[in-house]
Amino acid sequence: MRKPGKSVPSLTLCSTPRLVVCLFLVGVGCMLAACGSGRAGAGTDASGPAQVIENKGSDTLVNLALAWAEAYVELRPQVRVSVTGGGSGTGIAAMINGTVSIANASRAMKQEEFSAAQDNGITPVEFVVARDAIAVVANPSNPVDALTLPQISDMYTGRITNWSQVGGEDRPIVLLSRESNSGTYVYFLENVVRLGDRESDLLFFPDTLLMPSSEGISTEVRQNPNALGYDGLGYVTPDQKVIAVARDADGPYVLPGIDTVNDGSYPISRPLYMYTAGEPTGQIKAYMDWILGAGQEIVPELGFVPLQ
């Protein structure tokens, strides 16, 4: 789904606390070309000289993008792929500035970003590459296991400040969020904190702790019995309690998963995007075609929901 407008046996992986993760695939290629098999459904190599595909943006998407890059280079060893995180806004800005081939985003581009791209002579093309559930998480010792969207909104705006107000123990709620350059932050603000009301000006409670990465949220939830956080389902670890969520008090209360995202019953789910500066061609087009085709086999392995 997309819409306009709006060779190589060596792998190096590095990360920072901001989850700026890079994967650089370089080398000779002849060994993999001779023996490499691929995932089912891969096509033939695109013609043209060897090319580095620069892919940057969403920290939610970064692990999936890394897995795609690793699998793709086994199929097409003449292609080099560089994957970097840093946040959806960072990737989109890099695409607008012409410094990356593909921007990853866990939210749709904003109108002001489209305008900036057009001012720069670029018409972004949007691709939906997977789907994601945003899980609401707490410490496993917390007895609360179900919340409504209005309750979560009230918690994140400071109207509910104690777990006893939602059926838990008499403990203060410690709110955790991603930082504002994160597409997950933007989606959660617009669709959970503001409950999808475009006229709302609600903001996160000022005491909310802004975490630079999914790992930061996981660590704090694991260590703090009072914590409440949210993250992409693919980044939820077994040492976190996933809260069942209902649209309202009448229920049903639903846990996130592939089935509940696909049938629409889990209320906090979203598409994940890649953006290119204009219609992709050559190696970039071949890579995008593979992601939307055979590359979908990888999606559930990383905890995300493949396109139907």
State the total domains in the chain.
2
Residues 126 and 137 in one domain: no
**CATH value at residue 292:** 3.40.190.10
In tens digits, the chain (308 residues) has pLDDT values of: 554 444 323 333 333 333 333 333 333 333 333 333 333 333 334 445 567 999 999 999 999 999 999 999 999 999 999 999 999 999 999 999 999 999 999 999 999 999 999 999 999 999 999 999 999 999 999 999 999 999 999 999 999 999 999 999 999 999 999 999 889 999 999 999 999 999 999 999 999 999 988 899 999 999 999 999 999 998 999 999 999 999 999 989 999 999 999 999 999 999 999 999 999 999 999 999 999 999 999 999 999 999 97
Residue spans of beta strands (DSSP E) within 59-105: 79-84, 102-105
Residue 220: C-alpha distances to residues 151, 212, 227 (Å): 21, 12, 7
Q: Per-residue DSSP letters for 270-289?
A: EEEEEEEESS--HHHHHHHH
Please report whether residue 308 resides in a domain. no
| Domain residue limits at 286 | 2-130+273-302
Residues 198 and 247 in one domain: yes
Residues 261 and 149 in one domain: yes
Burial annotation 195-219 (CB, 10 A radius, 16+ → b, else e): eeeeeeebebbeebeebbbbbbbbe
Residues 216 and 193 in one domain: yes
Closest of 59, 107, 35, 26 to residue 211, by C-alpha: 59
Please report whether residue 71 resides in a domain. yes
Q: Per-residue DSSP letters for 116-140?
A: HHHHTT--EEEEEEEEEEEEEEE-T
